[in-house]
Each structure stands twice: as C-alpha cells, then as structure tokens.
Chains A and B, each alone.
Chain A
Amino acid sequence: MFEIKNLNANIQNKQILKDFNLKVNPGEVHAIMGPNGSGKSTLAHVCAGKEEYDVKSGSVLLEGVNLLDLEPEERAVRGLFLAFQYPVEIPGVASMTFLKSALSAHYKFNGKKELSTPEFIKLVKEKSNNLNINDDMIKRPLNVGFSGGEKKRNEVLQMTLLEPKICILDETDSGLDIDALRLVANGVNLLRSKKRSFVVITHYQRLLDYIEPDFVHIMSDGKIIETGDKNLALDLEKTGYNDYIKKDI
C-alpha cells in the first residue's frame, strides 16, 4: 500500500537519494537506521513534499496514487503523516486552532461531517489524556515554549487525531529522556493497527525496544544496503554501521 520506487532526489545539485526502494504493507512497521548523512531525513521530507528537494525520478505510491504529484497538504489528507524531528514553533497560532484546521481539512477530504466545537474539544481532551498532555499545553501557541518531550508528544497527539495510513517518524527519539521516550512510544503503539503502517527513522536501537519493528533496514549513501528483522538492529548496536557500509562497498 505504501511503496517507494527508484527514488532519486537532490538538494542543491547534490544527489542524496539514489534509486531508493521500499515497500511497506498494511500494518507493518519498518525501521530505517543509518549513519548521519545517509539520507534518512531527506527521504522523510521528500515523501512529505518539502519544496527545497529536487526529485529527479521515481515514485512514492500510497494506495496506488503517486504522492510526488501532489501538494504537501494533499499528501497529508490522503493519509501520510510525517512526525517531525524538529516540530516548528509557531508563535501566535493557538494549538487548538491549528488542530481544528488540520482535522477539518482531513474530514473535508474524506467527506466526513465537521465536528462541532464542543465535540472537537472533547475529542482532543480524550486523546491528550493518553499522552499526558494537559490543558495548559494545548492552550499555548503551537509548540512555543514546549520542552523536547512535549513537542514530540504533541506530534503523536496530531497523529492520533488525524488517523493517517502511513506514519513516517523522523528521529522521534532524538532529544527525549527515557520517560518521554516511553510515553511517545506507547502513544505510537496504541495507533498500531492492521491498516496503519509505520516507517520509523532512527539512529539508535533503543527506540526499537519500545516500538517493535517487523523489518529493519540499514540505509547508507541514499539507499538501503541491508534488510533484516529486529535482530539486525541489535547486531548493529554491537558492530556499528561501518561494517555494513564496507560490506556494501
């Protein structure tokens, strides 16, 4: 249902993704690990539609539709969700206003009736409780003054509300202490279902203790060089990336 085919992408004339391929079936969790500069974040941003990347060739298919032909907002309402490594602080935009706009856009696309304000507030409160997000946090401007943990929990809250089909988590574990990591991972695990898939991008095996992947891929120089199950991540933790990268060369 989510498939990346022969994806080549540049930034400022430097090729980052090189014939990248990945197929994710419904309900699967794929982890992508790799050293700095291997192109993991580029992959996430290209899928979500960030403008500064120049896609040369290839396709990113969600349920048969090539997302690369669509605007970022169209990709989102069709079910792609990127959990940002660095969620952006936006002073002056109230978190609730933002959530309402985002949710309305999804409902509109799916032909669902928009929630009334009380229904919406009730829904947000219900979902927030599971993530230990208090009222004060959602009353503040979007991500402004949030701690690293709060920002990532807020990402998971959005994911929970928007009910995407494919979630790309871009180094969601970065900047989190163990408790926050557990909270975020629990939030993600609650969303796992037969219909929903995840691509979890991380440097460290630790996150995968909490979010158990079906597949682990090692990415280097813009493509996947090794695929295995969760044990690959454990091996990697012992040996480091270098052995795999050398082997590939």
Chain B
Amino acid sequence: MSVKKSKKISEIDQEILNLCNDKIDSLSDCNDDISRIRKEAFKKYSKNGLPNRLQESWKYTNIHKKLNKIPVPDKIYPIPVNVENFINNFDIMRKLKSDNDIVIVFMDGHFVSELSLLRGEKEGISINFLSKGNIPESVIELIVNKHHENDDVLFDLNTVLMQEGVFIDVSPHNKVDSNIYIIHIGNNDGFFNYRHVINIGESSHVNITELKVSNRVNNALYTSSIIWNVGDNSIVNNVKYQAHNQSTIGFNQQYADIGNGAIFNSFTISSGSKLLRESRNIKCNGEHSEVSISGVNLLDGESHIDTTLVVSHKAPNSISKEKYKSILSDRARSVFQGNIVVDKIAQKTIAKQSIDALILSNNAEHDSKPELEIYADDVQCGHGATTGQLSADALFYLRARGIDEGEAKRLLVHAFLSDVMEEIKNKNLRDVLRNVMNSMLNRVSKGTLNV
C-alpha cells in the first residue's frame, strides 16, 4: 500500500502513516480476521490521521503540541528490576499478595515471561497472547465486533499496530479468589502498542488490577486498548494504577460491555505523563447492570491527563455512577469529558456523574465537559462539576491551631479526596491505595506533587 504525501500533513502524521504502512506490508498474523481488520483499520486511520482540536472530543487536548516525533531507542536498557522480588516493587501487589496471584508483565511492548506468573488453568482461567498466534475464536469475535463498532481513530491506530497483548478468558460460574495483575513497564524509548481482551463468563467474580509504570525517565509513546466483556450476573473489580514519568505519552482505550445483572467497578489512579488520554466506552447492555467508574488524577509539572468517558445505557433498570477528582499543580492540565447516553429503551436508568478539580497553582488548568443524551422519559440522571482551590479560610483555621502550612495543605488535599476513595469497595485495597496516594501527596506542601 502506498501513502500519498500531502503538504498539509504534519511530520508526526507522516511518520505514523509510514510506520503503519510498513506494518501492513509485513503482516505476519496467523489469523486472517486479524490481518483483515488491520488493513481496514489502516484505511480508516489513514483518512483521518491523528485527531486535532477541530474535532469536538479533542477540543481541549492538542496531541500535536505534545507529540512531534515517534521516540526511538538510542540504546537498550536491560530489565531493571529484581526478578526474584518483582512483586515487592509494587505496594499494591506486595500488600495484597495471595498465593495464587496471576501476574502478566509486559515491558516496552513485549511479554516478559521471567517476571510473570501464569497459572490459572486449574481455576478455569485461560490465558493467551496476541504474539503467540493461537487466538481463541471468542476473542477474535470480540476484537472484530469492536473494530466494526468503533469510531475512535486511535483505536484504529492500535488495531493496525497492536503487537502484543493478553487474552484472558474466565469460565462461567467461577469465583476467582486470586488477583490478576496486568503490568506494563516502560523502560526504553519507543512506540509500543498493546491489545488486551478480557472475557468473563456469566456469574463469575474477578479482581483485575492494571499497573502502568515508567521505570526510568524513558521517552515512550504507547497505545493500549482493552476490551472487556462482562457476562450476565458477573462481578468485576478493576483497579488501574498509572504512574508515568513526565515524558511518556499514552493513549488508553477501554471498552466494556456489561451484561444483565452484572457489576463493573473500576477505579483509576493516574499521575504523571506528558500526555495521557483515557478514552473509556462503557455499555450497560443488560438490565439491572451496575457500573461504577471513578478515579483520581494527580498532575504536576507539564502533565496533561484527559479522561473522555462515554457510558451508554442500552437496557432498562441499569445504574451508572461516575466520580472523578483531580488535583493539579505547576502548569498541569486536566480534561474531563463525560457523556451519559440513555437509549429510548433504557427506562428507569439511574446515572450520576460528579467531577471535581482542586487547583493548587496559578498556572494549572482544568476543563470539565459533562454531557447528557437522554432519549428515555423515566430516568434519574444528574451531573455536577466543581473546580476550585484550597479554601483560604480552612487553611487559616488549621494554621491558627499551630498546624504548619504544609501539613494543613496536606490535610485539606486528603479531605478533598476522602469521598472518592470510598468508591473502592474492598477495604484492604482501599487502605493500600490510600497509602500509595499518601506517598504521592507527601510533597503537596511545596505546591508540587512530584509523584
């Protein structure tokens, strides 16, 4: 396939198109469907290129300002962590460790078997990888369907370039006690593309934690898409913890289809990143399904985190709750775009959204754009958004009791976050994440987060 050069196209657009072109020319997928959708996705992507600010959903995030070159490795750094004690590198894992934890580690776009613990066959969990070729039919179907539904150009880009990913299939009626961890480590410079699929059979219960961390000050660009299919009456607790350095650019896409009576709880902590776009598209397809999407964004330096969320209610009697809090310092910027769509059939929907931002410096900026699209006439939907700074009166009150300014600010920042943390249903996990956040916030006193 050839790529036409146009004068208008930016350097980065051209670079990405060339990369896609090379990929399509050298396709080595074992699966014909995957090869086919890569080509289709490339066709779609090449028409548009990277999104720009003229597009409504990209109004507040300017990719071109943050990304002008695909990072390439100048030298290769070895696996940095102690393999023996790998789990101990992460508080979340160390403190919640159970004997049967399943740990799937990726570094710079590749699966790292030395660091991973793949077990679960006995527990009715099957684990496959995109790179290994033998992709189950159910996974192919989910990938193909999502490809056809999709209208996000970055998801198309991910489809063209996806190089590695895990496919987790949980059998029906399966209460999985162990934690499943999917870990991405950024170690070297480069452009990495992940595609994961998680298919959960009916009436099952799983806890899946995603960790995305930068190990060094590497220059990474990545796209990472995850497709969830949550079967009827299943319960999923998903935690995402993302802590990147100030030069990483990430585009995450999450798609979730939620079945009848299923519960999907997802809590995200994001910090750092030069640019992070969190696109989430959640569909309550089943009656009486319940979704809770919540999170905390901690931004400092020149970080830019954009959370763009669409929750669609496609069946009656479903409930969705979105609650996000952002704390910004320095020259950071956060964007929250939250759209709740209630189809005509989805009567008795309850949908709530609340977005709060706390700005600690004069040069930080937060933009909130809540949207409601309601076609049913018997629903309860609401949204609220606040943006503010620490209350001078509260700060003075604390200081007037002898509490120094730094400690007073720390108390108030914690107070701001206290209710969103309650969204984490599991108390142990909540306590651990609270501690993680404490250590992230311990430099708030200096007006900067330095996560």
Whether the Cβ atoms of B401 and A158 lie closer than 8 Å is yes
The count of chain A contact residues (Cβ–Cβ below 8 Å) is 29
Q: Tell me which residues across on chain B come within 8 A of A87, comparing CB atoms.
A: 397
Q: Tell me which residues across on chain A come within 8 A of B1, comparing CB atoms.
A: none
Whether the Cβ atoms of B415 and A73 lie closer than 8 Å is no
Taking a contact as CB atoms closer than 8 A, the residue among A50, A90, A105 that contacts B402 in the complex is A105
Q: Tell me which residues across on chain B come within 8 A of A90, comparing CB atoms.
A: 394, 397-398, 411-412, 415
Whether the Cβ atoms of A101 and B403 lie closer than 8 Å is yes
Specify the chain A residue showing the minimal Cβ separation from B407: A101
Taking a contact as CB atoms closer than 8 A, the residue among B392, B396, B411 that contacts A97 in the complex is B411
Does B393 count as interface, using CB distance less than 8 angstroms?
yes
Whether the Cβ atoms of B397 and A76 lie closer than 8 Å is no
Whether the Cβ atoms of B401 and A50 lie closer than 8 Å is no
Whether the Cβ atoms of B400 and A98 lie closer than 8 Å is no
Q: Tell me which residues across on chain B come within 8 A of A52, comparing CB atoms.
A: 392
In the assembled complex, the Cα of A101 lies from the Cα of B399 at a distance in Å of: 10
Taking a contact as CB atoms closer than 8 A, the residue among B391, B404, B414, B419 that contacts A73 in the complex is B404
In the assembled complex, the Cα of A101 lies from the Cα of B400 at a distance in Å of: 12
In the assembled complex, the Cα of A147 lies from the Cα of B214 at a distance in Å of: 49
Does A49 count as interface, using CB distance less than 8 angstroms?
yes
Does A93 count as interface, using CB distance less than 8 angstroms?
yes
The total of interchain contacts (Cβ-Cβ below 8 angstroms) comes to 83
In the assembled complex, the Cα of A72 lies from the Cα of B412 at a distance in Å of: 17
Q: Tell me which residues across on chain A come within 8 A of B407, comparing CB atoms.
A: 101, 105
Q: Tell me which residues across on chain A come within 8 A of B417, comparing CB atoms.
A: 92
Whether the Cβ atoms of A92 and B404 lie closer than 8 Å is no
Does B386 count as interface, using CB distance less than 8 angstroms?
no
Does B191 count as interface, using CB distance less than 8 angstroms?
no
B79 smallest CB distance to A (angstroms): 41
Does B210 count as interface, using CB distance less than 8 angstroms?
no
Whether the Cβ atoms of A101 and B391 lie closer than 8 Å is no
The count of chain B contact residues (Cβ–Cβ below 8 Å) is 24
In the assembled complex, the Cα of A105 lies from the Cα of B214 at a distance in Å of: 37
B253 smallest CB distance to A (angstroms): 33
Q: Which of B397, B398, B408, B419 has the most CB of A within 10 A?
A: B397
1/0 per residue, CB under 8 A from B, across A221-234: the answer is 00000000000000
In the assembled complex, the Cα of A162 lies from the Cα of B400 at a distance in Å of: 11
Whether the Cβ atoms of A71 and B405 lie closer than 8 Å is yes
Whether the Cβ atoms of B418 and A92 lie closer than 8 Å is yes
B388 smallest CB distance to A (angstroms): 13
Does B251 count as interface, using CB distance less than 8 angstroms?
no
Does A207 count as interface, using CB distance less than 8 angstroms?
no
Does A51 count as interface, using CB distance less than 8 angstroms?
yes
In the assembled complex, the Cα of A38 lies from the Cα of B399 at a distance in Å of: 26
Whether the Cβ atoms of A92 and B419 lie closer than 8 Å is yes
Knowing A93-B411, A98-B411, A101-B411, the reply to whether A88 touches B402 (Cβ < 8 A) is no
Q: Tell me which residues across on chain B come within 8 A of A49, comparing CB atoms.
A: 396, 399-400
Specify the chain A residue showing the minimal Cβ separation from B408: A73
Does A91 count as interface, using CB distance less than 8 angstroms?
yes
Knowing A50-B396, A72-B396, the reply to whether A91 touches B401 (Cβ < 8 A) is no
Knowing A51-B392, A73-B404, A73-B405, the reply to whether A92 touches B414 (Cβ < 8 A) is yes
Taking a contact as CB atoms closer than 8 A, the residue among B391, B400, B411 that contacts A72 in the complex is B400
- Which residues A66-104 have CB closer than 8 A to chain B? 71-73, 75-77, 82, 84, 87-88, 90-93, 97-98, 101-102
Whether the Cβ atoms of B401 and A102 lie closer than 8 Å is yes
Specify the chain B residue showing the minimal Cβ separation from A143: B397
Whether the Cβ atoms of A48 and B415 lie closer than 8 Å is no
Q: Tell me which residues across on chain B come within 8 A of A106, comparing CB atoms.
A: 402
Q: Tell me which residues across on chain B come within 8 A of A82, comparing CB atoms.
A: 400
In the assembled complex, the Cα of A141 lies from the Cα of B404 at a distance in Å of: 20
Knowing A90-B412, A92-B415, A92-B418, the reply to whether A84 touches B402 (Cβ < 8 A) is no
Interface pairs A-B: 10 shortest CB-CB: A92-B415, A76-B402, A105-B402, A102-B401, A92-B418, A72-B399, A88-B397, A77-B402, A73-B399, A93-B415
Beyond A51-B392, A105-B403, 17 extra complex contacts between A and B, CB < 8 Å: A48-B400, A72-B396, A73-B403, A76-B399, A87-B397, A88-B391, A88-B393, A88-B396, A88-B397, A90-B397, A90-B411, A90-B415, A92-B414, A92-B415, A92-B416, A105-B404, A109-B402
Q: List 17 A-B contacts (CB under 8 A).
A: A50-B396, A52-B392, A72-B400, A73-B403, A76-B402, A77-B402, A91-B415, A92-B415, A93-B412, A93-B415, A98-B398, A98-B401, A101-B398, A101-B411, A102-B401, A102-B402, A105-B402
